[in-house]
């Protein structure tokens, strides 16, 4: 169990500063997901914690202890890599055992641990096989077992599911959540997939270009985004954001009520024409042309067809206002919040 | 479908099959032709000549059965001597070249400017004809005052030494020259497979508290094993057939101390009278020895080689 703290951390590759003066605290025992588009610096942060890509300046603390330049072997952390990084020349057992041997764990204890964790990941029957003869999912399990067997204080995962097929990915997702519930250690998980982040995280840290856009629980990130970037990164499809004079207004596709007319108590009510219709089962997703903008709508109402005229209604509490720079304008931030709501009505 | 139409379809099919067969054989024909002309025919010829007494001008003077083999294996001692010298030479070369190639490859692994210069420097000797290299080394090792090695010795006030003319150093000099010449080439082969090892594996090893030495022995070396095994076989067979450098630098001397098998064969074939058959018999025996060594390599080591 450990808390990780970044203090004014900067990382540069040559003259290219990927991260600059970043402060972040990752809470003890929580499942934290670092999420963002590729190149946002999330993996760089993870590698700093692991000690395999040291910070250019600043400090990384673990439980208050400076580990910025500490040897990775002495950090009490384990990492699962995107392409597994298992040792191809070793059997499954040797893979799991390698780190234990290096740390001079006695043989009986090693055997006991290997048996225990091989069972946890469901590889007991494959201990003598070479990784090359196993499937992608099984290889990922080797990597998990190898990391778990160290019983680390911090568990790092760098897009561990991205090489698996869709079905297996969803199955492994729940397994990882269970694993975290059982182990109760600090999990730090890197992904570019917001669905994965929403599904697994206790805390999401959303990053863009080396900056933290928002750090909050999935519920808060979804319901109360700090800026346009966060609002549009999270959600499938992402939040609709349209211009409102010099500012912007956003609303989630699933909060739009489709009707033939303007509904009562809905400050936002605008007309559009259905461009596409995708029936997803319990819900239907429409793409609606509204003036110069296209709006995504996700609703249980499947009665509209291609080229139908619809009125999109949104309640006041489902409207999000952003200033020109993309920062959120909340009710408390400005004295004339109701003015914004009124302006939406046109 | 009528009978006639059926027949037509079948004959068409047969014709197509025949044509496919013809085309595929035509494709491999050139390779087979050259294999027969330059490998199988000379091999059969060699075995045939080894059963005769004769010279280069008239190879089949008189049939003497296995007498040549009897001479080589049970009567003369010089064949066994040259087999021994060649064996020693090969063993040392294999260990030195493989070992040093791995060392140099590991050293040149990082992408530094110095390393790309080093790669070129190490590789250059491979581009020079080995006869030229042999001449250069003959000059460097010359017992005369012009020799570089002796010049250095003299600078330190030491007596000069007849490097190629002394039994104790002649073999060492040939080994040194050939190691120097081939190391860059083999190091480059190993370097390319070193660089194909994913970096994450090394990072995982660091997180697994592995020391650098342990990572090398337990991860790097096993991952290089296919290349090392391939090089072991090519270097072994190549060294057994060493000729040009020995021919130039020592001509088998002093005494018989650097009399390698190929030089032995050459001398019996072209420098002595009526001993072409004996040379051929030695050639056949060399082939058998190489075959045995290769089989032994495969039998004992292939299980340890990790193929991806």
The secondary structure element, H or E, covering residue A272 is strand A268-279
Two tokens, residue A287: 């793409």
> What was the pLDDT predicted at B308?
64
Spell out which residues of chain A touch residue B208, defining contact as CB-CB under 8 Å.
73, 98-99, 102, 146, 150
Which residue of A44, A80, A87, A163 to mutate against B (max B Cβ within 10 Å)?
A87
> What was the pLDDT predicted at B163?
76
Is the Cβ of B228 closer than 8 Å to some Cβ of chain A?
no
Which CATH number do you get for residue A272? Answer: 2.40.50.100
Residue A230 lies in a domain: no
Ramachandran region of residue A85, left (φ > 0), alpha (ψ -120 to 50) or beta?
A: left
pLDDT score of B1 more than 60: no
Range B145-152 average pLDDT: 78
Q: pLDDT tens digits, residue range A188-221? A: 999 999 999 999 999 999 999 989 999 999 999 9
**pLDDT level of residue B161 (50, 70, 90 thresholds):** confident
Q: How many CB pairs under 8 A join A and B?
A: 67
> What was the pLDDT predicted at A30?
93
A89/B225 CB distance under 8 A:
yes
User: What are phi and psi for residue A263, nearest 5 degrees?
Assistant: -95, 160
Q: pLDDT tens digits, residue range A322-331? A: 998 999 998 8
Is the Cβ of B207 closer than 8 Å to some Cβ of chain A?
yes
> What was the pLDDT predicted at A346?
62
The residue assigned the tokens 């990752």 is: A26
The residue assigned the tokens 């197509």 is: B16
Spell out which residues of chain B touch residue A90, defining contact as CB-CB under 8 Å.
218, 222
Are A166 and A67 found together in one domain? Answer: yes
For chain A, give the percent of residues with pLDDT over 90. 53
Task: Please tell me which residue of chain A has the smallest CA distance to B199.
Answer: A85
Two tokens, residue A238: 């992402």
**pLDDT level of residue B65 (50, 70, 90 thresholds):** confident
Are A145 and A82 found together in one domain? Answer: yes
Residue A229 lies in a domain: no
Are A42 and A143 found together in one domain? Answer: yes
Among A223, A245, A264, identify where a domain stops.
Answer: A223
B222/A89 CB distance under 8 A:
yes
> What was the pLDDT predicted at B276?
85
Where is average pLDDT lowest: A184-188, B124-128, B160-164, B297-301? B160-164
pLDDT score of B261 more than 90: no
Range A157-186 average pLDDT: 88
CA distances from B225 to B194, B202, B222, B298, B302 (A): 11, 17, 5, 13, 9
Are A116 and A149 found together in one domain? Answer: yes
- Pairing relationship of beta strands A186-191 and A257-259 according to DSSP bridges: unpaired
CA–CA gap between residue A133 and residue A121 (Å, rounded)? 17
Where is average pLDDT lowest: A119-123, A186-190, B272-276? B272-276
CA–CA gap between residue B121 and residue A17 (Å, rounded)? 36
CA–CA gap between residue B246 and residue B239 (Å, rounded)? 11
For residue B220, the distance in angstroms to the closest alpha carbon of chain A comes to 10
For residue B179, the distance in angstroms to the closest alpha carbon of chain A comes to 30
Two tokens, residue A5: 């703290």
Q: Which residues contact B19 (CB under 8 A, 6 or more apart)?
A: none
Are A101 and A161 found together in one domain? Answer: yes
CA–CA gap between residue A241 and residue A232 (Å, rounded)? 8
pLDDT score of A246 more than 70: yes
Among A201, A223, A245, identify where a domain stops.
Answer: A223
Residues B194 and B228 sit within 8 Å (Cβ to Cβ): no
Q: What's chain A's average pLDDT?
A: 90
Which residue of B111, B199, B202, B204 to mutate against A (max A Cβ within 10 Å)?
B204
Residue A231 lies in a domain: no
B207/A73 CB distance under 8 A:
yes
Are A95 and A19 found together in one domain? Answer: yes
Are A168 and A304 found together in one domain? Answer: no
Where is average pLDDT lowest: A170-179, A221-230, B165-174, B203-212? B165-174
The residue assigned the tokens 């997702």 is: A173
Two tokens, residue A140: 């990922």
A77/B207 CB distance under 8 A:
yes
Which residue of A67, A76, A88 to mutate against B (max B Cβ within 10 Å)?
A88
Range A101-111 average pLDDT: 91
What DSSP line would sit under A1-42, residue for residue? ---EEEEEEEEEETTEEEEEEEEEEE-TT-EEEEE-STTSSH
Which CATH number do you get for residue A27? Answer: 3.40.50.300
pLDDT score of B124 more than 90: no
pLDDT score of A87 more than 70: yes
Residue A14 lies in a domain: yes
> What was the pLDDT predicted at A119?
87
Are A219 and A253 found together in one domain? Answer: no
Is the Cβ of B225 closer than 8 Å to some Cβ of chain A?
yes
Q: Which residue has the higher pLDDT, B6 or B171?
A: B171
Length of chain B: 308
CA–CA gap between residue A242 and residue A293 (Å, rounded)? 7
B207/A79 CB distance under 8 A:
yes
Are A124 and A265 found together in one domain? Answer: no
ipTM of the complex: 0.82
> What was the pLDDT predicted at A216?
94
Are A157 and A251 found together in one domain? Answer: no
Most confident range, picked from A66-75, A189-198, B14-23, B261-270: A189-198
Number of domains in chain A: 2
Among A163, A190, A223, identify where a domain stops.
Answer: A223
Q: pLDDT tens digits, residue range B227-252? A: 999 999 999 998 988 888 888 888 77
> What was the pLDDT predicted at A337?
87
CA–CA gap between residue B297 and residue A234 (Å, rounded)? 60
Chain A 46-65, residues with CB within 8 Å of chain B CB atoms: 50-52
Please give the distance of CA B252 from its chain centroid, rounded to a whole number.
Answer: 19
Are A141 and A255 found together in one domain? Answer: no
Are A173 and A246 found together in one domain? Answer: no
Most confident range, picked from A146-150, B1-5, B154-158: A146-150
**pLDDT level of residue A157 (50, 70, 90 thresholds):** very high
B219/A85 CB distance under 8 A:
no
A98/B201 CB distance under 8 A:
no
pLDDT score of A229 more than 80: yes
**pLDDT level of residue B3 (50, 70, 90 thresholds):** confident
Is the Cβ of A73 closer than 8 Å to some Cβ of chain B?
yes
**pLDDT level of residue B49 (50, 70, 90 thresholds):** confident
CA–CA gap between residue A44 and residue A124 (Å, rounded)? 34
CA–CA gap between residue B178 and residue B97 (Å, rounded)? 9
What range does the domain containing A23 cover?
4-223
Residues A37 and A208 sit within 8 Å (Cβ to Cβ): yes
Residue A228 lies in a domain: no
For residue B101, the distance in angstroms to the closest alpha carbon of chain A comes to 22
pLDDT score of B48 more than 80: yes
Is the Cβ of A99 closer than 8 Å to some Cβ of chain B?
yes
B210/A88 CB distance under 8 A:
no
> What was the pLDDT predicted at A1?
63
Is the Cβ of B210 closer than 8 Å to some Cβ of chain A?
yes
Measured between its terminal Cα atoms, the distance across chain A in Å is 54
Q: What contacts 24+ positions apart, CB below 8 Å, involve B27-36?
A: none
Q: Which residue has the higher pLDDT, B153 or B218?
A: B218
pLDDT score of A141 more than 80: yes
CA distances from B215 to A95, A319, B99, B207, B223 (A): 13, 57, 17, 11, 11
B208/A88 CB distance under 8 A:
no
B203/A103 CB distance under 8 A:
no
Collapsing DSSP to helix, strand or coil, A206 comes out as strand
Degrees, nearest 5: CA angle A120-A123-A127: 125
> What was the pLDDT predicted at B102?
93
pLDDT score of A79 more than 80: yes
Spell out which residues of chain A touch residue B219, defining contact as CB-CB under 8 Å.
87, 89
């Amino acid at each position: 169990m450990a808390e990780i703290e970044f203090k004014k951390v900067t990382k540069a590759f040559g003259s290219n500063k990927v991260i600059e003066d970043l402060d972040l605290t990752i809470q003890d025992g929580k499942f934290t997901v670092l999420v963002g588009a590729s190149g946002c610096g999330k993996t760089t942060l993870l590698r700093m914690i692991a000690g395999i890509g040291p910070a250019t300046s600043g400090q990384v603390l673990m439980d208050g202890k400076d580990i910025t330049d500490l040897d990775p072997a002495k950090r009490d952390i384990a990492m699962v890599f995107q392409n597994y990084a298992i040792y191809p020349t070793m059997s499954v057992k040797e893979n799991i055992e390698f780190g234990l041997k290096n740390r001079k764990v006695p043989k009986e204890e090693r055997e006991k641990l290997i048996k225990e964790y091989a069972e946890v990941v469901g590889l007991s029957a494959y201990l003598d096989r070479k990784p090359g003869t196993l499937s992608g999912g099984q290889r990922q399990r080797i990597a998990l077992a190898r990391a778990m067997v160290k019983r680390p204080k911090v568990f790092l995962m760098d897009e561990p599911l991205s090489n698996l097929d869709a079905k297996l990915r969803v199955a492994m997702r729940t397994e990882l959540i269970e694993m975290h519930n059982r182990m109760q250690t600090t999990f730090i998980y890197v992904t570019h997939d917001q669905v994965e982040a929403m599904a697994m995280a206790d805390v999401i840290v959303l990053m863009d270009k080396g900056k933290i856009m928002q750090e909050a629980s999935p519920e808060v990130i979804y319901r109360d985004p700090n800026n346009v970037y966060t609002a549009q990164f999270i959600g499938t499809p992402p939040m609709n954001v349209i211009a409102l004079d010099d500012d912007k207004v956003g609303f989630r596709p699933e909060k739009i009520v489709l009707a033939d007319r303007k509904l009562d108590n809905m400050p936002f009510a605008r007309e559009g024409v259905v461009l596409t219709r995708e029936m997803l089962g319990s819900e239907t997703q429409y793409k609606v042309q509204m003036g110069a903008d296209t709006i995504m709508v996700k609703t249980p109402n499947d009665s509209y067809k291609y080229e139908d005229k619809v009125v999109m209604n949104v309640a006041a509490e489902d409207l999000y206002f952003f200033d020109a720079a993309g920062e959120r304008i909340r009710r408390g931030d400005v004295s004339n919040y109701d003015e914004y709501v009124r302006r939406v009505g046109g | 479908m009528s009978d006639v139409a059926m027949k037509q379809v079948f004959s068409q099919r047969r014709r197509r099959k025949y044509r496919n067969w013809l085309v595929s054989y035509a494709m491999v024909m050139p390779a087979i032709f050259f294999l027969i002309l330059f490998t199988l025919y000379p091999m059969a010829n060699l075995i045939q000549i080894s059963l005769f007494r004769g010279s280069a001008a008239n190879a089949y003077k008189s049939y003497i059965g296995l007498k040549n083999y009897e001479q080589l294996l049970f009567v003369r001692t010089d064949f066994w001597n040259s087999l021994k010298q060649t064996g020693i030479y090969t063993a040392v070369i294999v260990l030195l070249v493989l070992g040093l190639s791995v060392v140099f490859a590991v050293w040149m692994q990082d992408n530094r400017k110095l390393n790309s210069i080093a790669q070129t420097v190490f590789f250059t000797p491979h581009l020079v004809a080995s006869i030229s290299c042999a001449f250069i080394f003959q000059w460097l090792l010359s017992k005369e005052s012009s020799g570089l090695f002796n010049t250095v010795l003299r600078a330190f006030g030491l007596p000069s030494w007849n490097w190629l003319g002394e039994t104790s150093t002649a073999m060492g000099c040939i080994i040194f020259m050939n190691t120097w010449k081939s190391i860059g080439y083999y190091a480059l082969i190993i370097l390319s497979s070193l660089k194909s090892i994913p970096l994450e594996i090394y990072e995982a090893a660091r997180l697994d508290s592995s020391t650098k030495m342990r990572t090398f022995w337990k991860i790097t070396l096993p991952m290089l094993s296919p290349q090392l095994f391939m090089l072991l076989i090519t270097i072994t067979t190549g060294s057994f057939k060493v000729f040009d450098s020995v021919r130039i630098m020592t001509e088998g001397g002093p005494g018989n101390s650097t009399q390698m098998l190929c030089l032995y064969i050459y001398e019996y074939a072209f420098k002595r009278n009526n001993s072409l058959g004996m040379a051929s018999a030695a050639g056949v025996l060399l082939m058998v020895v190489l075959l045995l060594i290769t089989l032994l390599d495969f039998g004992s080591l292939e299980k340890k080689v990790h193929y991806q």
